[in-house]
Amino acid sequence: MSVSRRGFIAGSATAASASVLAACAGEKDQAAPPGVPSNSEPDHEPLQEAIVAFDGPHQAGVETPTQADLNLIGFNLKGGVDKAGLARLMRLWTEDARELAAGRTPLGSLEPEMNRWPANLTFTVGFGERVFDIAAPGEKPAWLHDIPAMTRDELREEWGQTDIALQICADDPVMCAWAMRHMTRAGGDYAQIAWVQQGFMNAYGAIPKGQTPRNLFGQVDGTVNPYEADEYAEQVWNEDGSTSLVIRRIAMHLDEWEMLDRASREEAVGRTLADGAPLSGGDEFTEPDFGATDQYGLPVIDRNSHMARSRPDANHPEQRFKRRPYNYNLPPAPGSAELSDAGLIFIAFQKDPDVQFTPVLQRLDEADRLNEWITHIGSSVYWVPPGTSADGKGDKFWGESVLG
């Protein structure tokens, strides 16, 4: 099915006809490389045929390019669910998620019509501390604890730690909703919903392929992400295929932000709004020059800009991780003068939050200029079990290495 653009143009009309699908198709289940992509190439595979592999050494939904729709569910275990119960839940969830992601109908599902076009549906499960307390206290990773309190935190219990997190993403909101209903119903004997965080990013094909999506501040968000396999191996994947998931719910005070002019917005971030290039010049992926000064000898990039504070410490190159943020934009609370209840569901994957994530958060908490317009209102941390296989190579179900 793979056909190079050159081969396509040189080929016969019949071959060209047969490869319309190929011409419309692109890479899948792989992070897009950095660069400035073309804006008119029809380089997306038709959405009806877009399927992300469920099984593999790692869970999907981590390296997978951000889909349009997110249903992120925090579950707490029901009373009396022990290690054996946890294993049963994970076994049935794995089997059902595998079917749904492939566009097949899970055992016992009465809605085959709703499951037909998965639209890049992915599931990613994470275990909170309590799963280890119940099932394998001795195996709990040292970093699996609350993110330390930050001075500016205004955390709300309603968005706090849960026993399990299940990230469901798809490029079709109907599929995403349907998959959530199926999984919550299927797991209903074992786990109940504590919270649901619903978010969105750009629709499949809505922005040029490979372009970094923007948050509701208008900023490109995710520039410094890993892109290549060796970067993922360094930053994200443990040897057994596991990783960690940190979820921060960050309210964004858009009404105030939108009163700023563009220059003030760019100063707060340290990047241009137009293309995300550092204010010291170049393009989105150019290294910033923090030594650059303007005509008055003042630094071009504010040392407390979001970009400057969020970069790895010069002596700590390990402070990198995969950002996979989603926007939320809910109706304003009744009686509120705000135009919307908006913000970011900041989702981060890394080997060790204590080493890679929290130091960055502390630097931001201390002096990020963006702090004036954001408030962290939720926080939770999970261990993300290795990927699965249907043929007995490795874990057959989520968390088998801990629960099996």
- Interface residues for a second copy in 31-50 (CB under 8 A)? 39-40, 42, 44, 46-49
96, 171, 267, 365: which one binds a second copy (CB under 8 A): 171
Range in contact with a second copy (rule: CB under 8 A) among 132-140, 326-334, 344-352, 378-386: 326-334
Q: How far apart are CA 404 and CA 399, in angstroms?
A: 8
Q: Does 357 bind a second copy (CB under 8 A)?
A: no
The number of residues that bind a second copy (CB under 8 A) is: 76
Q: Give 3-state DSSP helix, strand, coil % of the chain, rounded to 5.
A: 30, 20, 50
Q: Does 108 bind a second copy (CB under 8 A)?
A: no
51, 62, 68, 364: which one binds a second copy (CB under 8 A): 68
- Token pair, residue 14, equals 């019949």
14, 151, 295, 315: which one binds a second copy (CB under 8 A): 14
Task: Provide the angle, in degrees to the nearest 10, between the axes of the packed helices 83-102 and 173-186.
Answer: 150
Q: Does 142 bind a second copy (CB under 8 A)?
A: no
Q: How far is the CB of 199 from a second copy (least distance, A)?
A: 9
Q: Does 295 bind a second copy (CB under 8 A)?
A: no
Phi, psi of 184 (to 5 degrees): -65, -35
Q: Which residues contact 293 (CB under 8 A, 6 or more apart)?
A: 299, 300
Pattern 194-233, a second copy, x by CB under 8 A: -xx-x-xxxxxxxxx----xx-x-x---------------
By CB neighbour count within 10 A (0-12 exposed, 13-18 middle, 19+ buried), where does 402 fall?
buried
| Distance, C-alpha 373 to centroid of its chain | 22
| Distance, C-alpha 370 to centroid of its chain | 21
Q: Does 79 bind a second copy (CB under 8 A)?
A: no
Q: Which of residues 331-350 bind a second copy (CB under 8 A)?
A: 331-332, 334, 339-340, 342
Q: Does 293 bind a second copy (CB under 8 A)?
A: no
Q: How far lies 98's CA from each of 46, 51, 205, 312, 395, in Å?
A: 21, 11, 25, 37, 13
Q: Which is nearer to a second copy, 76 or 202 (CB)?
A: 202
59, 161, 184, 242: which one binds a second copy (CB under 8 A): 184
Q: How far apart are CA 90 and CA 71, in angstroms?
A: 18
Range in contact with a second copy (rule: CB under 8 A) among 124-132, 160-168, 238-246, 256-264: 256-264
Q: Which is nearer to a second copy, 42 or 281 (CB)?
A: 42
**Ranges assigned E (strand) in 39-104:** 69-77
Q: How far apart are CA 55 and CA 188, in angstroms?
A: 24
Q: Does 8 bind a second copy (CB under 8 A)?
A: yes
